[in-house]
Structure 1
Amino acid sequence: MKIIGLDIHRTFAQVAILEDGVVKDHGRFLMDRDAVLAFAQKALNKDDDVVLEATGNTATVVRLLQPFVHRVVIANPLQVRAIAWAKVKTDKIDAATLARLHAARFLPEVWMPTEEVELQRRLVAERTQLVSQMTRLKNRIQSILHANLLPRETGRVYGAKGRDRLMSLPIPPDQMRTALRHHDELQRLGGELALADRALAKKALDDPNVRRLMTINGVNAVVATSVLAAVGDITRFSSPQKLVSYLGLNPSVHQSGDHPAFHGHITHQGRGHARGMLVEAAWTLAASPGPLSAFFHRIGAKRGRQVAAVATARKLAVLIWHMLSKGQDYEWARPALLQFKIRALELTAGHESRRGGKKPGPARDYSLKAVRDQERAWILGVEQEYKYFVAHWKEKPPKSTPQRGHH
């Protein structure tokens, strides 16, 4: 059995082979499909292990090499650097280090997502990039208005008729050209976003876990898909705390010697987009009734709304772990609201409209004020029960470690 360490770069990969306790340099090969397959056919055997760090093209390299070896191991690059820091750093040393760490069973590994999860992640990333670009263009248009002492336009200049609105404003010709160019690009990206939303909606409708997470009142398909794409297989996390840590929502901890532990801001490690989606969902939940809203406002009254949003996002992560691990929907789901969200998702996916049909669908209930009021009254009752339950809780200060020499 051999252990092959690969230090992968954009154009080449450096190879080190560990066999019988000895590491040998095996040169390098180009990073293109034919060269990777040629290396695999020539140098690899079915009982070998290949070790490489996670990079942008890791998934493709892994899938090309897997048929030729016993196992392909993906290393966490940040943790590898923390473990094997060296003043002398070369590609050959990095490749050899990966092989040695794996042989010593001291290699911090990264989970390899399935092709289905990879597709989810690409869809989420595409949508995120489009939204980011559109937000940037909107801000540039607003900056032009601000420079000319014009009041902020709240959406009127962004739509299909916004071009005429822009042209009617007293803006110098050179800035007008810039604003119109931004507007036209905004319309083009809007069409791309609609296509991305349709593709995401089609995948979401086929995923029972998306529907399950949508039973949480403040979670829509975009939030659910983003979280599921980041998490992948929930069985990877043995506890909800492991998922919270993976999403970077756990507080950082500093402790040394006999001093008590100091808890700081959240770590911000892991999947940043999923973390942002959960925080966004937390703000949505704050504006609607329910126990999660009561939790948000309880924390907000003590620590401020920003802290409350992060704390609610962390509670959502714990809730999601339990729902996915146990295969259960949210206990306090609002049925009419859920059907409304699912119908909106179907329309985004391109399903035919049922307007004018003889038999209304289940999503129609949410348009009835009596149904909405009934659901709202019920969830307000649940919120009051939560407030009563936590009313007499007393926070205990953290236990401090006793100083040496004191009893």
Structure 2
Amino acid sequence: MEYFAGLDVSMEETHVCVVDRNGAVVYETKAISSARLIAEALEGAPPCTRVVFETGRMAPMLFHGLTELGVPIVCIESRQAYQALKTLTTHKTDRNDARGLAQLARTGFYKAVHVKSLPAHAVRALIIARKKLVGQRVTLENQIRGLAVVFGVRLPRGLSPAFVDEVVRMSDGITGLAGAMRGLVAARDAVLGAVAAIDADMKRLVRASEACRRLMTIPGVGQITALAFTAAVDDPARFRRSRDLGAYLGLVPRRYQSGEIDYVGSISKVGDKRMRSLLYEAANVMLTRYKGALKLKDWALAIARRSTMRKARIALARRLAIIMHAMLRHGTEFRPA
């Protein structure tokens, strides 16, 4: 007899349900949400052919931890599971969700997803932290600029050397304003120091990664884009075709077809939003700043002449994703010709 398990995971505890081939519940329990304790809870049930749980914040830690412990764990798409669970249960409880996930494991009616490695998540955390810090820097500079405008002073660019000097000069001697400006400038300097430290870490990671160095041979692709792409792809072999990267990153048109209706809209924008933005920026740099001869650039400019520059950038971003995946998969460098 085959047995299947479903795990409904929360931050504190996980509900475990095991069913047999006929769908009858044979074992239920709860465990603290850690890989070791969940594996111990499953030892009290018959050996399971498949154990299913949904994507979420704790998915990487639990998936890799349970895999190392020999549990046949499968991570499934939470949006698909949500729609299926609504049809299986009337009342949404953690216990019923675990039962529903066990039934999905039994029937195979689910879409398994790839769980990225923990090093890939670490690189992604570094990129997200840098983006957040840069946003805080811009917010602080805009606040300083807004306070200065009240006193009729227009400050230079935030990253120019004269920015801080001009702030100190214009606020000197004004009670209240000087203290406010000193506090904001000190916070800005701290954020700039944190960004510089992250940039140094990124530079070390790029130097240690042959894949990133190959990707950076593409005009417009810098160290952040290269790191983000290798972390997003994680394992190039999991994509059967390089052209699948366009759909994975939400860079293909959304389509709706039903009967006589056949509608093709804008891009789907699913997947990693940050990676999609970086590819769009790389495409823009290639089209507007790169001065060398490049067939890829000529191809995108031909699209711009037929349509719009925005659509040309999106098409080029999709093509860049395909080329970058092929380079990772085959270990090749970019050849402009």
Once the two structures are TM-superposed, the CA of residue 173 in structure 1 deviates from its matched residue by 4.8
In the alignment, is residue 313 of structure 1 matched against residue 312 of structure 2?
no
Once the two structures are TM-superposed, the CA of residue 121 in structure 1 deviates from its matched residue by 2.1
- What is the distance in 2 between the residues matched to 1:146 and 1:302? 44
Once the two structures are TM-superposed, the CA of residue 265 in structure 1 deviates from its matched residue by 1.4
Q: Equivalent residue for 1:210? A: 212
- What is the distance in 1 between the residues matched to 2:84 and 2:335? 44
- What is the distance in 2 between the residues matched to 1:234 and 1:156? 38
- What is the distance in 1 between the residues matched to 2:9 and 2:48? 22
In the alignment, is residue 37 of structure 1 matched against residue 40 of structure 2?
no
- What is the distance in 2 between the residues matched to 1:174 and 1:83? 60
Q: Which residue, out of 305, 308, 326, partners 1:304?
A: 308
In the alignment, is residue 129 of structure 1 matched against residue 128 of structure 2?
no
Unaligned runs of 5+ in 1: 333-381, 383-407
* Alignment coverage as a number of residue pairs: 327
Once the two structures are TM-superposed, the CA of residue 128 in structure 1 deviates from its matched residue by 2.4
Once the two structures are TM-superposed, the CA of residue 50 in structure 1 deviates from its matched residue by 2.3
Q: Equivalent residue for 2:96? A: 93
Residues 39-76 of structure 1 show CA distances to partners (whole Å, capped at 9, x for unaligned) of 42243376553221111122222233224444111111
Q: Equivalent residue for 2:115? A: 112
- What is the distance in 1 between the residues matched to 2:16 and 2:300? 52
Contact conserved, 1:41 with 1:68, CA < 8 A, in 2?
no
Once the two structures are TM-superposed, the CA of residue 252 in structure 1 deviates from its matched residue by 0.7
Q: Equivalent residue for 1:330? A: 334
TM-score by length of 1: 0.73
Judged with a 3 Å threshold, the aligned counterparts in structure 2 of structure 1 residues 81 and 165 are, in CA distance, closer, same or farther, namely: same
Once the two structures are TM-superposed, the CA of residue 186 in structure 1 deviates from its matched residue by 1.7
Moved more, 315-324 or 212-221: 315-324
- What is the distance in 1 between the residues matched to 2:81 and 2:74? 13
Once the two structures are TM-superposed, the CA of residue 174 in structure 1 deviates from its matched residue by 4.3
Once the two structures are TM-superposed, the CA of residue 246 in structure 1 deviates from its matched residue by 0.9
Judged with a 3 Å threshold, the aligned counterparts in structure 2 of structure 1 residues 202 and 139 are, in CA distance, closer, same or farther, namely: same
- What is the distance in 2 between the residues matched to 1:170 and 1:201? 37
Q: How does 1:152-301 map to 2 (within 5 A)?
A: 152-155=155-158, 162-169=163-170, 173-174=175-176, 176-259=178-261, 261-286=262-287, 287-289=289-291, 290-301=294-305
Contact conserved, 2:53 with 2:75, CA < 8 A, in 1?
yes
Judged with a 3 Å threshold, the aligned counterparts in structure 2 of structure 1 residues 168 and 76 are, in CA distance, closer, same or farther, namely: same
**What is the DSSP-based 3-state SS (H/G/I as helix, E as strand, rest coil) of the residue aligned with 1:28?**
strand
Judged with a 3 Å threshold, the aligned counterparts in structure 2 of structure 1 residues 176 and 277 are, in CA distance, closer, same or farther, namely: farther
**What is the DSSP-based 3-state SS (H/G/I as helix, E as strand, rest coil) of the residue aligned with 1:249?**
coil
- What is the distance in 2 between the residues matched to 1:148 and 1:256? 61
- What is the distance in 1 between the residues matched to 2:99 and 2:135? 40
Once the two structures are TM-superposed, the CA of residue 25 in structure 1 deviates from its matched residue by 6.3
Q: Which residue, out of 146, 153, 164, partners 1:143?
A: 146
Q: Equivalent residue for 1:402? A: none
Once the two structures are TM-superposed, the CA of residue 156 in structure 1 deviates from its matched residue by 5.4
Supply the AA of the counterpart residue of 1:327. Answer: G
Once the two structures are TM-superposed, the CA of residue 293 in structure 1 deviates from its matched residue by 3.1
**What is the DSSP-based 3-state SS (H/G/I as helix, E as strand, rest coil) of the residue aligned with 1:168?**
helix
Contact conserved, 1:49 with 1:69, CA < 8 A, in 2?
no
**What is the DSSP-based 3-state SS (H/G/I as helix, E as strand, rest coil) of the residue aligned with 1:169?**
helix
Q: How does 1:49-68 map to 2 (within 5 A)?
A: 49-68=50-69
- What is the distance in 1 between the residues matched to 2:102 and 2:176? 59
- What is the distance in 1 between the residues matched to 2:270 and 2:323? 20
Residues 156-198 of structure 1 show CA distances to partners (whole Å, capped at 9, x for unaligned) of 56x5x64332022269754554443232112112111122122
Contact conserved, 1:46 with 1:70, CA < 8 A, in 2?
no
Judged with a 3 Å threshold, the aligned counterparts in structure 2 of structure 1 residues 186 and 219 are, in CA distance, closer, same or farther, namely: same
Unaligned runs of 5+ in 2: none
**What is the DSSP-based 3-state SS (H/G/I as helix, E as strand, rest coil) of the residue aligned with 1:40?**
helix
Contact conserved, 2:123 with 2:227, CA < 8 A, in 1?
yes
**What is the DSSP-based 3-state SS (H/G/I as helix, E as strand, rest coil) of the residue aligned with 2:143?**
helix
Contact conserved, 2:245 with 2:322, CA < 8 A, in 1?
yes
Judged with a 3 Å threshold, the aligned counterparts in structure 2 of structure 1 residues 72 and 154 are, in CA distance, closer, same or farther, namely: same
Supply the AA of the counterpart residue of 2:66. Answer: L
Q: Equivalent residue for 2:17? A: 16
Residues 372-397 of structure 1 show CA distances to partners (whole Å, capped at 9, x for unaligned) of xxxxxxxxxx6xxxxxxxxxxxxxxx
- What is the distance in 2 between the residues matched to 1:145 and 1:303? 43
Judged with a 3 Å threshold, the aligned counterparts in structure 2 of structure 1 residues 142 and 305 are, in CA distance, closer, same or farther, namely: farther
**What is the DSSP-based 3-state SS (H/G/I as helix, E as strand, rest coil) of the residue aligned with 1:51?**
strand
Contact conserved, 1:16 with 1:25, CA < 8 A, in 2?
yes
Once the two structures are TM-superposed, the CA of residue 149 in structure 1 deviates from its matched residue by 4.5
Contact conserved, 1:48 with 1:70, CA < 8 A, in 2?
no
Contact conserved, 1:247 with 1:269, CA < 8 A, in 2?
yes
TM-score by length of 2: 0.87
Contact conserved, 1:46 with 1:69, CA < 8 A, in 2?
no
Identity between Structure 1 and Structure 2 (%)? 24
